Amino acid sequence: MKRTSILFVCMGNICRSPLAEGIFAHLVEEEGLTDSFTIDSAGTGSWHQGDQPDGRSIETAKRHGIDISGQRARRIRSDDVATFDLIIAMDSKNIAALRALWPQADNIHLFGDLALERGEEIPDPYFGGNDGFEAVYARLLTGCRKLLSTLGADSASRSGNTSSVR
């Protein structure tokens, strides 16, 4: 059975993309589909490589029963475009950075287009307070549920799991 591989991307890989990775992994686990997905995150910038997610991202995830404290930031690598089925960027700046590296890649998508179906950008909460992280969490949760509903249907049919995302 082929696993679907997803890479969530934001600027520094410490706020939005670690939250998206954690949320999606949590939903996948709840549905019993962990064998169907490979999930990771990366940043278009390198200044946080090796760091944990921002403490506010960790706390926000923790309040919702998700532990992302073990994640470490990394910069997107040249082999990621060939390795991942889906590369999902949080905003147009990150889309532009990814397209500059791989102009012909057809697996690069905006989270708001693919998961929220309306082109919405996920704002960077880094320079704001905790409310911004909660708002980002809520948008990511909504999108990750829709994404799993779409992608999980195929995975569930292959594995015999027919439960749906709540």
Q: Of 56, 80, 124, 144, which residue is the catalytic one?
A: 124
15 assigned to active site: no
Catalytic residue among 15, 16, 40, 56: 16
Q: Would strands 37-43 and 108-110 be described as parallel, antiparallel, or unpaired?
A: unpaired
124 is catalytic: yes
Spatial CB neighbours of 56, under 8 Å, sequence gap ≥ 6: 15, 125, 130, 133
Answer yes or no: 145 catalytic.
no
CA dihedral sign, ordered 59, 65, 70, 75: negative
Structure tokens at 71: 């994640």
3-class SS of residue 6? strand
CB distance 41 to 18 below 8 Å = yes
Catalytic positions: 10, 16, 124
